Structure 1
Amino acid sequence: MSSWVGRCLADKLFCFYSLVQFQSIHVTQQIDYFSTVYEDLYKQLGSSGVKNHLSKSIFAIVIGSNDILGYFRSSDLQNKTTPHQYVDSMLLSLKDKLKRLYSFGARKFVIVGIGTIGCCPARRTETKNEKCREEINFWSIKYNIGLISMLQELKSDLKDIHYSYFDTYKVLLDFIQRPATYGFVEVKAACCGLGTLNAEIFCLPIAAYCSNRSDYIFFDRVHPTEAAHRIFVNHIFDGSLQYTFPINVKQLVAI
């Protein structure tokens, strides 16, 4: 789980997220699990009580990166569908999932966009001169644009929905282009791993570990460090419209 999510099982915070591929639980299954939580809450609080509780709860959605990365790792997927069709199907599926959560009583959402995943250490090792894989970044941007549009449509259709969208892509790109501004030194390599850019394995017991992880944007071959996540959190919770819109989480909670 992304570290900023923190207390996902705490009172009034429900999180739906994607993990590294071999550990992931499909979001449909996660919502199925939530349906059992809903049933328990219904028994404890009653109809009006659970409705009030969930209407004030925050539902965090951190998803999409593994889907994009998975597409570009799968020749089978690429033979079956174009990247444009694939991204459209991702957005349609997510919209259905958000509507399902809405049917349970969810009204407040934190939606995290896809970052510059083509620039993570694992993808840089696949290019000449350890550059970003721009095709992956291109479709990440296309997904984020579609996601923003979809959220606006959802807000238009369901007037009592409120959401806060975080532009992970723009923030991560700023880290990469202006690392010193944020206190970073290493842009390309992972703090923990082995091989080229420390990106050939995840952070296993046999991996090499950097001496100062706060110098790094990426902790392992795909995930940002705690230092990067701390900046994410500040933007998400109390940031300006530059990165978090139409409102930040502090404003979302106050509604």
Structure 2
Amino acid sequence: MASVAALLLALLFSISASGNAQPKVPAIYVFGDSTADVGNNNYLPGNDAKANFPHYGIDFPHSRPTGRFSNGFNGIDFLAGHMGFRRSPPPYLSLTNKTSHGILKGLRGVNFASGGSGILDSTGTTITMTKQIKYFATIRSRIAARLNAERTNDVLSKSIFLISAGGNDLFAFFRQNNAPNNTQKEQFYNTLIYNYKNHIEALYDLGARKFGIIDVAPIGCCPSSRVLHPLGDCIAVLNELAVGANDAVKVMLSNLHSTLKGMNYSLGSSHAVVSNIIADPGAAGYKEVQSACCGGGKLNAVSGCMPNATYCDDRKEYLFWDGVHPTQGASKKAGFAIYNGSLQYASPINFKQLVEDHS
């Protein structure tokens, strides 16, 4: 019998050609934070939570910074590729009458994600989840104006609604209380899940039926967290918060599946992917899982990935691109694992099964 390491190696290094196929769903609608943003924040005033400058995008076609918090494509791009699209749908704030034509037929989809946002509207200063859903409601109304109500509901029920959020909420809570007791943690989880549930129900009421949810990675092990530890170790409290929040989301989704007619979901575990890579970097093809590729100072994570920052040449050997976000290579591995993988990486079904479900 093959070892767990061998199975993981085979899973993470398998190559899918699905990006060259016809789309398997009508559209993808994306919500969340910088793990999913493909350029919405480019259109916001100020300089916070942006990645529209070098060295971001150095491995994107034509070495173009797009607003993705990556050296190239992000995880949403790879998930979209597995569903038969070229990459993530375009950012909502980039849309014009010319680029909206197919989208307003319920095709391709829209990315509403905004770096810095969270599940809680109090998190960050960018486009809140509540506002992202309002943006989708606007798009839905415009689709319904072109299609009849039955066709609109049919197209949306077959589309995939991706949500990748939660990390910023945990960081914000940690900054306010870096040594929370169990009661404080439970109060935080309850508030977080109450709001997350409301967001999903709001999307359901607007026609969403298939939800692809990405959980929170072990954020205590990202470079910007490690620099807080004298020895550069992972920050245990942050990792405990991630596990607690992920467990609560898992229960919440199961309950919604039981109460919302026709609702189906897959909970993809970026936490499992990143944890396994950190536990055995060599098996996944990495040499560096603690430092950021681009940045400055200790672990290349004290200062950000700015145009004057240094960056590594061997990006395929790094897990992290900047202080928080994975490299394009790591996102590709995560996308494959979540889309095609076992219950370890996505449950109760994987994203492929969610896409192919026609019930």
TM-score of the superposed pair, with normalisation by structure 2: 0.67
Deviation at residue 72 of structure 1 after TM alignment: 1.0
2:243 corresponds in structure 1 to 141
Q: Which residue of the partner structure matches residue 349 of structure 2? A: 247
Contact 1:121–1:189 (8 Å) recurs in 2: yes
Shift of 1:104: 0.5
SS of corresponding position for 1:217: strand
Give the letter aligned to residue 273 of structure 2.
Answer: V
The amino acid of 1:30's aligned partner reads: Q
Pair 1:43-2:133 in alignment: no
Opposite residue 4 of structure 1, the aligned amino acid is G
Contact 2:112–2:135, Cα closer than 8 Å, also in 1: no
| 1:13 Cα deviation after fit | 4.3
Of 310, 315, 328 in structure 2, the residue corresponding to residue 208 of structure 1 is: 310
The one of 150, 160, 172 equivalent to 1:58 is 160
1:175-194 matches, within 5 Å, as: 175-194=277-296
Residues 1:8 and 2:110 aligned together:
no
The equivalent position to 2:115 in structure 1, one of 19, 30, 33, is 19
3-state secondary structure, aligned to 2:161: strand
Instruction: Rate the CA distance shift 1:61–1:248 in 2: closer, same or farther, 3 A.
Output: same
Secondary structure, aligned partner of 2:190: helix
Specify which of 137, 155, 174 is matched with residue 276 of structure 2. 174
Q: Judge conservation of contact 1:237–1:248 (CA < 8 Å) in 2.
A: yes
Q: 1:127 and 1:90 mapped to 2: Cα distance?
A: 27
* Shift in alpha-carbon separation, 1:90–1:143, aligned structure 2, 3 A: same
SS for the counterpart of 2:231 is helix
Aligned pairs for 1:102-113 (under 5 A) are: 102-113=204-215
Q: Distance in 1 between matches of 2:328 and 2:344?
A: 22
- Tell me, which stretches of 5 or more residues in structure 1 are unaligned? none
Amino acid aligned to 2:76: V
Measured after TM superposition, the shift of residue 18 of structure 1 is: 5.1
Instruction: Indicate the structure with greater helix content.
Output: 1
The 2-side partners of 1:167 and 1:117 are apart by 13
Shift of 1:75: 5.2
Distance 1:58 1:14, change over 3 A: farther
Q: 1:55 to 1:47 in 2, by over 3 A?
A: same
- Larger relative CO (CA 8 A, sep 6+): 1 or 2? 2
Correspondence for 1:160: 262
CA contact (8 A) 1:18 1:63 kept: no
- Tell me the residue number matched to 1:33: 135
Partner Cα separation in structure 2 for residue 140 and residue 57 of structure 1: 28
**Structure 1: distance between partners of 2:250 and 2:114:** 19
Aligned residues: 253
Identity of aligned residues (%): 36
Task: Give the Å deviation of 1:16.
Answer: 5.4
Distance in 1 (CA, whole Å) between partners of 2:309 and 2:185 is 34
Work out the CA distance in 1 between the residues paired with 2:108 and 2:311: 36
The 8 Å contact of residues 12 and 57 in structure 1, kept in 2 or not, is answered as no
- Distance, in Å, in 1 between the alignment partners of 2:324 and 2:268 is 19
In structure 2, the partner of 1:228 is 330
Deviation at 1:168, TM superposition (A): 1.4
Residues 164 and 30 of structure 1: CA distance in aligned 2, closer, same or farther (over 3 Å): same
Q: Which moved more, 1:1-10 or 1:241-250?
A: 1-10
Distance 1:225 1:142 in 2: 26
CA distance in 1, matches of 2:283, 2:185: 34
Q: Is the 8 A contact 2:222 2:234 kept in 1?
A: yes
Residue pair 2:161, 2:211 contacting (<8 A) in 1 also: yes
Which segment drifts farther, 199-208 or 108-117?
199-208
Comparing 11-20 and 112-121, the one that deviates more: 11-20
Q: Write out aligned runs for 1:80-95 (5 A).
A: 82-95=184-197
Alpha-carbon distance in 2 for matches of 1:161, 1:16: 21
CA distance in 2, matches of 1:196, 1:160: 49
CA deviation vs aligned residue, 1:21-65 (integer Å, no higher than 9, x gap): 666311000001111001001101111011001000100000000
Q: Cα distance, 1:84 vs. partner?
A: 2.1
CA contact (8 A) 2:293 2:321 kept: yes
Q: In the superposition, relative to structure 1, how do residues 202 and 23 fare at CA in structure 2: closer, same or farther (>3 Å)? A: farther
